[in-house]
Structure 1
């Protein structure tokens, strides 16, 4: 959730110097606090991470669970970076995008698990930023309904209509050849 009545633009420098105990994200220069995730959120995250990480053994791509820093801007000057995210899962196949802090540029695939306090940002604001940055595949998971919305970047550099999946289906990942996510175990 955004902090109330922000008067200034926050940058990556602020993110690096944040001294609070809470996790933060910066979206268009606005500071967003990250509430502690629920147990259900963590169970879903853990199972997705397990399935993806097992698939990626011996492959070039890597999967990183939050907190893992994603800077969509590829510029070097920290005062000019005004978008810093910590997606629930980030999958990166280009090792040149990785540094000691996280990912600089668009991951290949991002997964966000919504909560009542993050759903609006995940579905609208982050959606637009991820699309603009060129994230090839974006999943929005809604734990309360056991629904997954899969957005894939088209040739026109836009996300098309989502493919929707429910609790007991299997989802074929578009960005990773032959990976299939079993939602029954994700949501159980």
Structure 2
């Protein structure tokens, strides 16, 4: 981490974050700095790119806008993140510099170095911030975990989807993504129904 940034401060703010140099990818969660380097793997980037491309195609002409990292998402005075993929349906949240407030959908593709943060700190942050749908993709095990915000303001039990399945997004009712394409796999063979 850049020595200009590493200060002895208990809690950083968005104002601190915006003053730091752009040569490193960092996130700010509950006022604490999280380093995002080194760069993600090729498989991580391929999955991220494919998810974004399919969203962009399926949302063309609609009011919801997909984004791909790096885009700053400001969730509070002490929280700035750069999700792998996100969708914003409220145009008032989109500014020239960043996204202000909770996106409707956030997608994180796990990397060994940042998986725990995505599964723990970020999940809690997204829930607290009101992100309607949080999708976590495991590129090694080739499955998807989806969390949906309930009426009580908490994520319900996670749903798990495998690579041969399609993911129907709850935050975007008309969008269904074939996960085998997201993972770069061959389409699944149709089920064989035997009749006796």
Q: Same fold (TM over 0.5)?
A: yes
Q: CA deviation at 1:102?
A: 1.5
More helix by share: 1
Separation in 2 of the partners of 1:140 and 1:6?
32
For structure 1, list consecutive stretches of 5 or more residues without a partner in the other structure: 74-80
Residues 1:28 and 2:30 are matched in the alignment: yes
Q: CA deviation at 1:14?
A: 2.1
Q: CA deviation at 1:7?
A: 3.2
How well do the aligned residues superpose, as a CA RMSD in angstroms? 1.6
Separation in 2 of the partners of 1:139 and 1:184?
16
CA contact (8 A) 1:114 1:122 kept: yes
Aligned match for 2:178, one of 165, 170, 182:
182
Shift >4 Å, 4+ stretches = none
Q: CA deviation at 1:33?
A: 0.9
Separation in 1 of the partners of 2:28 and 2:7?
12
CA contact (8 A) 1:6 1:30 kept: no
What's the secondary structure of 1:111's corresponding residue?
strand
For structure 2, list consecutive stretches of 5 or more residues without a partner in the other structure: 185-196
Separation in 1 of the partners of 2:71 and 2:12?
19
Q: CA deviation at 1:177?
A: 1.7
TM-score normalised by L of structure 1:
0.91
Report Cα offsets for 1:117-171 as digits up to 9, x if no partner: 1111100101001001110000011111001000001111110111101112101
Q: CA deviation at 1:20?
A: 5.3
Residues 1:87 and 2:89 are matched in the alignment: no
TM-score normalised by L of structure 2:
0.87
Separation in 1 of the partners of 2:7 and 2:157?
34
What's the secondary structure of 1:184's corresponding residue?
helix
Q: What is the aligned partner in structure 2 of residue 47 from structure 1?
A: 50
Aligned residues: 179
Instruction: Output aligned runs, 1:67-86, within 5 Å.
Output: 67-73=70-76, 81-86=77-82
Structure of greater relative contact order (alpha carbons < 8 Å, 6+ residues apart): 1
Aligned match for 1:137, one of 133, 155, 177:
133
